[in-house]
Amino acid sequence: MKIEQIYTGCLAHAAYYMESNGEAAIFDPLREVQPYINRAEKDKAKIKYVFETHFHADFVSGHLDLVKKTGAQVVFGPTAKPGYEAIVADDGQVFKVGNASVKIIHTPGHTMESTTYLVIDENGKEHGIITGDTLFIGDVGRPDLAQHVVADLTQEKLAGHLYDSLRNKIMPLSDDLVVYPNHGAGSACGKNMSKETTDTLGHQKQVNYALNPSLTKEEFIKQLLTGLTTPPVYFPQNVLMNIKGYESLDTVMSRGKKPMPVAEFEAIANETGALLLDTRSAGDFAKGYIPKSINIGIDGSFAQWVGEMIPDVRQEILLITDPGREEECIIRLSRVGYDNTLGYLEGGFEAWKKAGKEIDSVQRISAADLEKMIATDKPIVIDIRKKSEYDSEHIVDAINIPLNQINEHLAEFPKNKPFVLHCAGGYRSMIAASILKQRGWNDFSDVEGGFTEIAKTAIRKTDYVCPTTML
């Protein structure tokens, strides 16, 4: 038996490939399924099952496309009600994959259908647990997502279920089991996950606060709920897509991979309500961009910020990308359910510029420039990092408006006086800058390199406090 973690940093997501004696299983696949098919073909193995730990909120799973392309069967845990053909397994049910086995352990809490899969090798030895969002390395899944789909499933109720699942189903298992979670640090599905993406269950029992045997249920619920922030707005929409089904990625790609010359691109932009999404780097965008376009760089936490900043997954999108990266952008949009890409600007921004079309830019300053400004003019500084980052350390007198809350706090950005934006490194502040420019703000600057560079200056900062949450 072999089991491999397939990790995707953009979403801090882990899928798993398991193979034994010519049969394979995939656990929690991403939308683009060809890499899993290729992996099985390498082993000359047939994909027999696609196991889903739960209805995911942070991405659209590739299970349905895998079924179409391989003939595999989808398996969910108890209580799941998918809108398509699937096996809804019983607690304790065992599935054979070659000479190895996968045992269903129902572990409600993150969601009610959440399931942990116990992997047993050819010799009958229990090897590891694929835990989904039930148990992470150093953390557990947040219990406040399902309530956005089913109102009476409060976060307190789900946290209580999770406590019981951990105590009754996970903690009695052998210490030498390998824990294979669905996410690592950077995911919004937990509040303080480790950068490590596997561990032994025994070590997690020692270091993971959620597995502390002395915790009462009330103490556990309080600790789990402390530090949670509002989940990304796209999460409930992704859950519903995973429950009800969705278009094949092949269909999405064929629709989106349409090169548009400048004239056609401009006409479509004017005739539709399509969002102009520029996926180039913050530095390139700042130097010049198509007016009214939004910058979310492909080389950052792209999918997460698309989901945070574009409220409706059905939004029509026109892409401006670095030439050659169009397909990558469409795939990464589809991972989080944004399937309505209409096409992309042929030749990218340079084609627009060469055509003599109107362009705009964002003023950027260095941290050293900001230091001089603070010494003389005392400008308004707006820190658009997460509250947890701001609370940890920030410029004295800086105002905190987290990027994911910018639309609700636009009135707090001054229009009659200049101000300065910064984030941690410049990625998020350029997203904010593009939104502000789109909404009519012009008299501001963005700090290149963000707080990372600011920290190297003598600008007065608050004392550092270790954060208790990464949300």
177-192: pLDDT as tens digits? 999 999 999 999 999 8
Please state the rounded mean pLDDT for residues 339-362.
98
Query: Who contacts 257 (Cβ-Cβ below 8 Å, separation ≥6)?
Result: 326, 327, 330, 343, 344
State pLDDT tens for residues 2-31.
999 999 998 999 999 999 999 999 999 999
| Alpha-carbon gap, residue 326 to 18, rounded angstroms | 32
Question: Contact at 8 Å (CB) between 202 and 175?
Answer: yes
Task: Name the segment(s) of the chain with CATH classification 3.60.15.10.
Answer: 2-237
State pLDDT tens for residues 296-340.
999 999 999 999 999 999 999 999 999 999 999 999 999 999 999
| Alpha-carbon gap, residue 306 to 289, rounded angstroms | 18
Paired sense of beta strands 380-383 and 294-295, if any: unpaired
| Alpha-carbon gap, residue 54 to 36, rounded angstroms | 19
Residues 405-420: b if buried by 16+ CB within 10 A, e if exposed: bbeeeeeebeeeeebb
CATH number of 364-454: 3.40.250.10
Using pLDDT thresholds of 50, 70 and 90, give the confidence band for residue 152: confident
Beta bridge partners of 276: 318
How do the residues of the chain divide into helix, strand and coil, expressed in percent and rounded to 5?
A: 35, 20, 45
Question: Contact at 8 Å (CB) between 125 and 1?
Answer: no
Query: Who contacts 307 (Cβ-Cβ below 8 Å, separation ≥6)?
Result: 58, 232, 233, 234, 235, 238, 336
Question: Contact at 8 Å (CB) between 317 and 340?
Answer: yes
Which two tokens mark 267? Answer: 């006409």
Task: Name the segment(s) of the chain with CATH classification 3.40.250.10.
Answer: 247-354, 364-454
Q: Average pLDDT of the chain? A: 96
DSSP run (H or E) holding 317:
strand 317-320
Which two tokens mark 108? Answer: 């409600």
State pLDDT tens for residues 270-300.
999 999 999 999 999 999 999 999 999 999 9
- Determine the distance from the C-alpha atom of residue 46 to the mean position of all C-alpha atoms in its chain, rounded to a whole number: 30
Query: Who contacts 49 (Cβ-Cβ below 8 Å, separation ≥6)?
Result: 25, 26, 72, 73, 74, 75, 95, 97, 102
Q: Which CATH code, of 3.60.90.10, 3.40.50.2300, 3.40.50.2000, 3.60.15.10, is assigned to 2-237?
A: 3.60.15.10
Quote the pLDDT of residue 63.
98
More confident residue, 150 or 353: 353
Query: Who contacts 124 (Cβ-Cβ below 8 Å, separation ≥6)?
Result: none
Quote the pLDDT of residue 146.
79
Which two tokens mark 65? Answer: 């496309």
Which amino acid is it at 50? V
| Alpha-carbon gap, residue 106 to 165, rounded angstroms | 8
Question: What's the N-to-C CA distance of the chain in angstroms?
Answer: 37
Question: Contact at 8 Å (CB) between 109 and 161?
Answer: yes
| Alpha-carbon gap, residue 175 to 179, rounded angstroms | 10
Q: How far is CA 244 from CA 80, 81, 330, 346, 354, in A?
A: 12, 9, 22, 35, 45
Residue 425 has pLDDT above 80, yes or no: yes
Burial class (CB in 10 A: 0-12, 13-18, 19+), 226: exposed
Residue 303, SS3?
A: helix
Question: Contact at 8 Å (CB) between 470 and 185?
Answer: yes
Give me the numbers of helices (H) and strands (E) for the chain, helices first please: 16, 24
State pLDDT tens for residues 47-86.
999 999 999 999 999 999 999 999 999 999 999 999 999 9
Quote the pLDDT of residue 139.
97
| Alpha-carbon gap, residue 333 to 335, rounded angstroms | 5
Residue 293, SS3?
A: coil
Q: What is the signed CA dihedral for 53, 50, 60, 140, rounded to 10 degrees? A: 20
Which two tokens mark 28? Answer: 């929690």
Domain 247-354 has CATH 3.40.462.40: no
Residue 124 has pLDDT above 90, yes or no: yes
- Determine the distance from the C-alpha atom of residue 445 to the mean position of all C-alpha atoms in its chain, rounded to a whole number: 28
> In percent, how much of the chain has pLDDT > 70?
100
| Alpha-carbon gap, residue 141 to 322, rounded angstroms | 36
Query: Who contacts 80 (Cβ-Cβ below 8 Å, separation ≥6)?
Result: 52, 54, 55, 86, 88, 113
Provide the 8-state DSSP code for 395.
B
Which two tokens mark 31? Answer: 């939308």
| Alpha-carbon gap, residue 2 to 6, rounded angstroms | 13
